[in-house]
Amino acid sequence: MIDQLFGSKTRVKLLQLFYSNPNRSYYVREITRKIDEQINSVRRELANLLSIGIIISRNENNKLFYEVNQKFEYNKALSEIFSNKSKSKENNDNPNSTSTDLNIFKSIGNVELAFYTGQFTNDEISGIDLLIVGDVNNNKLEKFIIELEAQENKEIRYVVMNLEEYIYRQQVKDKFISNISVAKKVILVDKNGILEVESLVI
């Protein structure tokens, strides 16, 4: 039914991809791989979404990237329809995380905070692609990174630190943490609203 309402299966898949990752940018071949549709169909639907204003594009390093247009008039309504946020109790307790993210990071340890930035969001101010804050099992973390790199088909620059170090570096206004605080990010886990508190401090 939703395919009929929004015109095509490819368009629905694109909307689900973009609104499940509203701060992340994608290039065409990456999109094609993630939604498993033909490239010509993907290009056609991207052009449709661009013309409507649902997504925007930018050219970087000879690649055209696409992402959600946060200023689109019906952005909030579309997000409510197409975001894959879990409705489980666990996710209600942690509104900044999806159940999938929580399960993945539970498997590698006690992760307090995790988010994508850098290559994932087209923002290089932090110089990394993934930050994980918490106590992790190094072997499980290494396996997770290998799988993520294979999935994304690129090297992932990541930093891991415990919560005490993160808070200390935040308090002394460490340059790395300061850059991270203003970088564009996709929040995967924020158990205790660390980023919300950080924004109030800043």
- Which one of 3.30.1300.10, 3.40.50.720, 1.10.10.10, 3.40.50.1820 gives the CATH number of domain 2-82? 1.10.10.10
Q: Structure pTM?
A: 0.63
Per-residue pLDDT of the chain (202 residues; tens, 9 = 90+): 455 456 789 999 999 999 988 888 888 998 998 899 999 999 999 999 999 999 999 887 788 899 999 899 999 999 888 876 533 333 334 444 444 456 778 889 999 999 999 988 888 899 999 999 999 999 999 999 998 888 877 899 999 999 999 999 999 999 999 999 999 888 888 887 877 655 434 4
How is the chain classified by DSSP, letter by letter? -HHHHHS-HHHHHHHHHHHHSTT--EEHHHHHHHHT--HHHHHHHHHHHHHHTSEEEEEETTEEEEEE-TT-TTHHHHHHHH-----SHHHHHSTTS-HHHHHHHHTTEEEEEEEE-BTTTTB-SSS-SEEEEEEE-HHHHHHHHHHHHHHHTS---EEEE-HHHHHHHHHTT-HHHHHHHHS--EEEEETT-HHHHHHHH-
* CATH 1.10.10.10 domain locations along the chain: 2-82
